[in-house]
Structure formats: C-alpha cells, structure tokens
Amino acid sequence: MKLQPDRLEAQSILGYGPGWVGLASQGVAEKIHSSVLIGSRGERQIWPCERFADLTARHFEEIASLRPELVIFGSGALLRFVPPAFLSGLMGLRIGLETMDTLAACRTYNILAGEGRHVIAALLIEPPA
C-alpha cells in the first residue's frame, strides 16, 4: 500500500507490503526488508526481530534508550499485544506505547512525525508467507 505523507521534512514511511517497508529521508527513498526502528528525528536502526514470538523485554529497552515521547509498535499483519512485563523500561520513563498492526502503525507514525512529535515507530516486518 502506498502512503503519502503531508510533510517530508521528517523521515517518512512511503509504503508497506508483505516483507518490506518503504522509507524516505532527505529525498532518498529505499525499501527495508527487516524489522526496523524509525524515528521522526532521523533515528533508524535494524530491530533484530523476525517474528512476534521472538520479542523480548530487551527489544523495548532498546527503544527506551532513544527517549521518544511515544512509541508506535507495528505488530505485523495481525494486531498482537506485547506482554506488559516487556514494557517496564518504557513505563519507568513515562514513554507511551500504542500497539497496532504494522500498516496502521506506518500511517500513524507519518501523522505524528508530520506534527513534529518525537515518535519512534517499532515496525515488525515479518517475512512473506
């Protein structure tokens, strides 16, 4: 699905499909084929998690170290919730987390980044079936 952000000054998500997410930063577009952390302030790093079942508390501690206002967690093609014990690092820093499927997370990230919010999208990109 193609996504069109209103504002391209922040790192934007241009599209999403089975096994990939399309990003644009400073006018350069690329496709990423692995789970990734994307931030409105230019943060971008591979998130070493291929499947929802692989998630651990350490994955969310990594996000907490980035100190965003809010985390948008894209749980893959299905809406799945992270065990609350994994989120203690985020909760201790008073960082909110919203969970949605990855497509919805991509759209929501673009809206919040376009508003100038410091948001991190933690996108689970599962290999295509």
What's the confidence (pLDDT) of residue 129? 76
> What Rg value do the Cα atoms of the chain yield, rounded?
13
For 12-123, CATH gives 3.40.1230.10
Question: Full-prediction pTM beyond 0.85?
Answer: yes
Neighbours of 88 (CB within 10 A): 13
Per-residue pLDDT of the chain (129 residues; tens, 9 = 90+): 555 544 446 789 999 999 999 998 777 889 999 999 999 999 999 999 999 999 999 999 999 999 999 999 999 999 999 999 999 999 999 999 999 999 999 999 999 999 999 999 999 999 887
pLDDT of residue 5: 47
Task: Name the residue ranges covered by the structural domains of the chain.
Answer: 12-123
Task: State the DSSP code for 128.
Answer: P
Q: What is the pLDDT of residue 28?
A: 83
- Alpha-carbon distance values, 79 to 8, 31, 38 (Å): 28, 23, 19
